[in-house]
Amino acid sequence: MATLILEQTLNGLQFGLMLFLLAAGLTLVFGIMDLINLAHGSLYMIGAYLVATVVRATGSFALAVLVAVLGTAAIGVLLEVTVLRRLYARDHLSQVLATFALLLICNEIVRIVFGSQPVMLSMPNALAGPVQLLPGFYYPAFRLAVIGVGLAVALLLYLLVGQTRAGMWVRAGASNREMAAAMGVDVKLLFTAVFGVGAALCAIAGAMLGPILAVQVGMGESILITAFVVIVIGGIGSIRGALIGALLVGMVDTIGRAFLPMLLRSFLSPAVASGVGPALASIAIYVLMAAVLFWRPQGLFPARA
Q: Is 294 among the residues that bind other proteins (CB under 8 A)?
A: yes
Member of 152, 162, 183, 286 binding other proteins (CB under 8 A) = 286
Min CB(176)–other proteins separation in Å: 15
**Binding residue (CB under 8 A) for other proteins from 236, 239, 242, 249:** 236
In 3D, which of 186, 196, 169, 158 has the Cα closest to residue 78? 196
Asked if 263 touches other proteins (CB under 8 A), the answer is no
**Contact between 269 and other proteins (CB under 8 A)?**
no
Q: If binding is defined by CB under 8 A, does position 111 make contact with other proteins?
A: yes
CB of 31 to other proteins, least distance (A): 11
Residues 32-91 interacting with other proteins (rule: CB under 8 A): 36, 83, 86, 90
First to last CA, the chain: 44
Give me the least distance between CB of 228 and other proteins, in Å please.
6
CA 282, 283, 285 angle in degrees (round to 5)?
100
> Please, which of residues 112-151 interact with other proteins by CB under 8 A?
112
**199 part of the interface to other proteins, by CB under 8 A:** no
> In the bound complex, what is the minimum distance in angstroms from residue 279's beta carbon to other proteins?
3
Among 127, 144, 172, 221, contact with other proteins (rule: CB under 8 A): 221
Asked if 258 is part of the footprint of other proteins (rule: CB under 8 A), the reply reads: no
Looking at the Cβ atoms of 53 and 107, the one nearer to other proteins is 107
Q: How many residues bind other proteins (CB under 8 A)?
A: 44
The backbone region for 136, taken as left when phi is positive above 0, alpha when psi lies in -120 to 50, beta otherwise, is left
Q: Could you tell me how far CA 269 lies from the centroid of its own chain? A: 36
Encode 177-238 in three state secondary structure.
HHHHHHCCCCHHHHHHHHHHHHHHHHHHHHHHHCCCCCECCCHHHHHHHHHHHHHHHHCCCC
Measured from the CB atom, the residue of 58 and 282 that comes closer to other proteins is 282
Task: Indicate whether 240 belongs to the interface with other proteins (CB under 8 A).
Answer: no
Position 209 contacts other proteins (CB under 8 A):
no
Q: Which is nearer to other proteins, 22 or 229 (CB)?
A: 229
Q: What is the spatial distance between Cα 42 and Cα 48, in angstroms, rounded to a whole number?
A: 10
- Interacting residues toward other proteins by CB under 8 A: 30, 36, 83, 86, 90, 92-94, 96-98, 100-105, 107-109, 111-112, 221, 225, 228-229, 232, 236, 274-276, 278-280, 282-283, 286-287, 289-290, 293-294, 297, 305
